[in-house]
Chain A
Amino acid sequence: MFTDLFTYSAAEWDAIRLSLKVALLCTLFVLPVAVGIGWLLARKKFFGKAFVEGFLHLPLVLPPVTVGYILLVIFGRNAWLGAFFYEHFGWQIAFSFPAAVIAAIVVSFPLVTRSIRLSIELVDKNYEEAARTLGASNTRVFFSVTLPLALPGVISGAILAFARSLGEFGATISFAGNIAGETQTLPLAIFSSMQVPGQESSTMRLVVVSIILSLIAMIGAEYLNRKILNRKT
């Protein structure tokens, strides 16, 4: 049934490269925003906080296809934001590589924010207070005390974003489409090859890569977390 499990075709390599690119870019963009929002939710009280929290967590519970559809409604060529970008910058966002990244960002955002928020909540405020008595401004307190102490949560948040992006399917296929070499990430490529009879070996090769990438991400997360825990105690 499976003929060659180790020789990858150019199209398969494309899917792998594309998946990694989407996952890395997503992690890169999502992290700073999630740190900011996570801190806000952990440390500040403001009007409508419960509503904001609920809204931010929406992509976590909505079916990803729905998220993709909503993105399409916002960024489609004829939709309001999509039309704006197309007219002023000539960017067509839906069904393009950026759309795949945006879809990954939106679905992974609540996961990352949650992880970071929890770890910031666990940082003892007394350390922040001590830092202020030592002459540190609020910004310095955040970067020299809060963030380093919350680092395990930030790192596991980053890994979550990366892993979630690697596995993203529903929002991507409905918002970015399934365009080989541009938006066809690993899950989409697996789905496509499943549809074609006689492609079992190709499907299996992509599945194996998927498993390996996810494993590396998880083991890496665990390793980093241990390293930080050791450093702290």
Chain B
Amino acid sequence: MKKVLEFDIRKRLGDFQLNVQAAIGDGITGIYGPSGHGKTSMLNAVAGLVNPDVGKIFLKDICVYSSNKHVNIPVHKRKIGYVFQDIRLFPHLSVAQNLRYGLKKNDMHSLGYHEVVDVLQIEHLLAKKPSECSGGERQRIAIGRALLSGAQILIMDEPFSAVDIHLRNTIIPFLNAVNRRFRIPMLVVSHDLPDLLSLTDQLLLLKDGTIKALGRFQDLLQDEDNIGIMKDAGLYNVFSLKVFASLPQKNMVLLSNEMATFQVQILLQSFLQKFEIGKPVKVLIRPEDISVSLRLVDQISLRNQIQGRIVKIFTRNGLSFCLVDAGEKVLVEITEASKKNMNLEIGTTVYCLFKSAALKIFE
């Protein structure tokens, strides 16, 4: 994967020390960390809103900051699109004027105005004032405005917190669409792990001002420390699957991973929109919503019983986890007692049991 953004920066902020190094690739990267652990500070340094004490930042192989070489490209020339947590549309300008604010004539990198308006579905808002738009609409406008400023990378600070809790998921399809259509790398910051996972499985974990891990969520689960960081945020298993088949007589849909080694059944009603075979979906389930059994259980209402092999067992904050390789890595939370009773150890073959209704589906 091509590296879009590379940085190695240090910055002291009172008692807090930010010390981050990373190379971030194309696509959507989720930045997770508890509140107050340096997420926004890191983004502000990358965007040039604050200067690091020492370090260097490269954006698409161009040095935009280097304390050694005394390079410091100012914010307005860095070509970083920043969608702020508090959105910040200009209140005295119309939606269209907001969108055109950063638009440069004759800039080859600029995206088409009409295309952006179309993808974000904000055509009907153009003549309005930002104050006349809803929270979700304002957010889409802010994304459009940042895209149209010729940004090479889009930074989004807590995009899920600006909208109503039950409207959160409405922004996700737009972010996916923007990433696919405009091929623009995105850094999305959130202190809410499930929200991030519904958008991407590429994660950067930040804690105490340092980067603890960067990689696919599935791979990060291998490390107990990472799980310790993510546990507080409501840990989820996340699977990127595709619609494999429909089972109309059972009112179910069968989802599968790329190699068809991992399959789950979900309720047909879980689909908000029309589904078709091959459509990509993200499936989330909490480790505490999964049970393990040593053999296949018949005479049970659970629809999902997936066979796998335990590859790891560990205890964290008084909770026991086992990581099961069932075609995809599945993290299961168990009690210490059942671990002992069932004699669970690495290599044991188990079945992961969960209700279809416990799955969260993101299209």
What residues of chain A have their CB less than 8 Å away from a CB belonging to chain B?
Answer: 126-127, 129-137, 144-145, 148-149, 151, 231-233
Contact of B76 among A132, A144, A149, A232 (CB under 8 A): A132
- B92 / chain A contacts, CB cutoff of 8 Å: 148-149, 151, 231-232
Most buried by B among A126, A127, A134, A151: A134
Q: Which residue of B lies closest to A151 (CB)?
A: B92
A232 to B129, CA, bound (A): 8
Among B75, B79, B82, B91, contact of A149 (Cβ-Cβ < 8 Å)? B91
Q: Which of B143-151, B218-226, B300-308 contacts A (4 or more CB under 8 A)?
A: B143-151
Q: How far is the CA of A133 from the CA of B79 in the complex (A)?
A: 8
A-contact bits for B49-76, CB 8 A (1 contact / 0 none):
1000000000000000000000000111
> Which residues of chain B come closer than 8 Å to A130, judged between CB atoms?
82, 84, 88, 90
Residue of A132, A135, A148 contacting most chain B CB atoms (<10 Å): A135
* Contacting residue for A126 out of B75, B84, B145, B149, CB 8 A: B84
Residues from chain B with Cβ under 8 Å of A144 in the complex: 101
A134/B86 in contact, CB under 8 A: no
Per-position contact with A for B254-289: 1 when CB-CB < 8 Å, else 0? 000000000000000000000000000000000000
Q: Is B80 an interface residue (CB 8 A)?
A: yes
Query: Taking the nearest CB of chain B, how far is it from the CB of A143, in angstroms?
Result: 12
B47, B88, B102: the one contacting A135 at CB < 8 Å is B102
CB of B105 closer than 8 Å to a CB of A: no
Cβ-defined partner of B90 (8 Å) among A135, A145, A231, A233: A145
Does the CB pair B101–A134 fall under 8 Å?
Answer: yes
**Which residues of the partner chain B approach A145 to less than 8 Å between Cβ atoms?**
90
Question: Cα distance A149–B91 when bound, in Å?
Answer: 8
Per the bound structure, the CA–CA distance linking A144 and B129 in Å amounts to: 16
Residues of B near A231 (CB, < 8 A) are: 92
Assess the B86–A126 pair: CB atoms within 8 A. Answer: yes
B135 nearest CB across to chain A (Å): 16
Residues of B within 8 A of A135 (CB): 76-77, 79, 102, 104, 149-150
Which 4 A/B pairs are nearest by Cβ-Cβ distance? A134-B102, A130-B88, A133-B82, A134-B149
By a CB distance below 8 angstroms, the chain B residues around A137 are 76
Which residues in chain B, 207-231, are within 8 Å of chain A measured between CB atoms? none
Given contacts A149-B91, A149-B92, contact A133 B150 (CB under 8 A): no
Known: A126-B84, A133-B149. A232 touches B91 (CB 8 A): yes
- CB pair A133–B90 under 8 Å, yes or no, is no
- Contacts of B49 on A, CB cut-off 8 Å? 129, 132-133
Q: Which residues on the B side are within 8 Å of A126 (C-beta)? A: 84, 86, 88
* Residue of A with least CB distance to B79: A135
| A134 and B146 alpha carbons, distance in the complex (Å) | 7
A133 touches B81 (CB 8 A): yes
**Is B131 part of the contact surface with A, judged by Cβ < 8 Å?**
yes
Residues of B within 8 A of A129 (CB): 49, 75, 88
Tell me, in angstroms, the Cα distance from A129 to B43 when the chains sit together: 14
Chain B nearest CB: distance from A129 CB in Å?
6
CA distance A132 to B146 in the complex (A): 11
**Cα distance A145–B91 in the bound complex, in angstroms:** 9
Residues of A within 8 A of B145 (CB): 134
Q: What chain A residues lie within 8 Å of B81 (beta carbons)? A: 133
Contacts A/B (CB < 8 Å), 13 sampled? A127-B88, A127-B90, A131-B101, A132-B49, A132-B76, A133-B78, A133-B149, A135-B76, A135-B150, A136-B76, A145-B90, A233-B91, A233-B131
Residues from chain A with Cβ under 8 Å of B131 in the complex: 232-233
Interchain CA distance A148-B76 in the complex, whole Å? 20
Contact with A along B116-143 (1 / 0, CB 8 A): 0000000000000101000000000000
Q: In the complex, which residue of chain A has the Cβ closest to the Cβ of B91?
A: A232
Residues from chain A with Cβ under 8 Å of B47 in the complex? 133
Min CB gap B310→A, angstroms? 48
- Chain A hits for B129, CB < 8 A: 233
The residue on A at minimum CB distance from B80 is A133
| B101 / chain A contacts, CB cutoff of 8 Å | 131, 134, 136, 144
Complex formed: what's the CA distance from A151 to B129 in Å?
18
Bound together, the chains give a CA A129 to CA B91 distance in angstroms of 14
CB proximity of A152 to chain B, nearest CB, Å: 11
Nearest residue (CB) in A for B98 is: A134
Bound complex: CA of A129 vs CA of B83, how far in Å? 11
Give the CA-CA distance A130 to B91 in the complex, in Å: 12
Closest to A138 in B: B76
| Residue on A nearest B97 in the bound complex, by CB | A144
> Closest Cβ of chain B: how far from A186's Cβ, in Å?
37
Q: Interface centre among B47, B77, B81, B102, by most A CB within 10 Å?
A: B102
Residue of B nearest to A137 (CB): B76
Contact of B102 (CB < 8 Å), options: A127, A136, A149, A151: A136
Interface centre among A127, A133, A148 (most CB of B within 10 A): A133
Q: How far is the CB of B129 from chain A (nearest CB, A)?
A: 8
Please give me the residue from chain A that is nearest to B84 by CB atom: A130
Kindly list chain A residues whose C-beta atoms are within 8 Å of the C-beta of B74: 132
Instruction: Give A142 Cβ to nearest chain B Cβ, in Å.
Output: 13
Cβ-closest chain A residue relative to B131: A233
* A132-B149 Cα distance, complex, nearest whole Å: 11
Q: How far is the CB of B1 from chain A (nearest CB, A)?
A: 26
CB-defined contacts of B104 to chain A, threshold 8 Å: 135
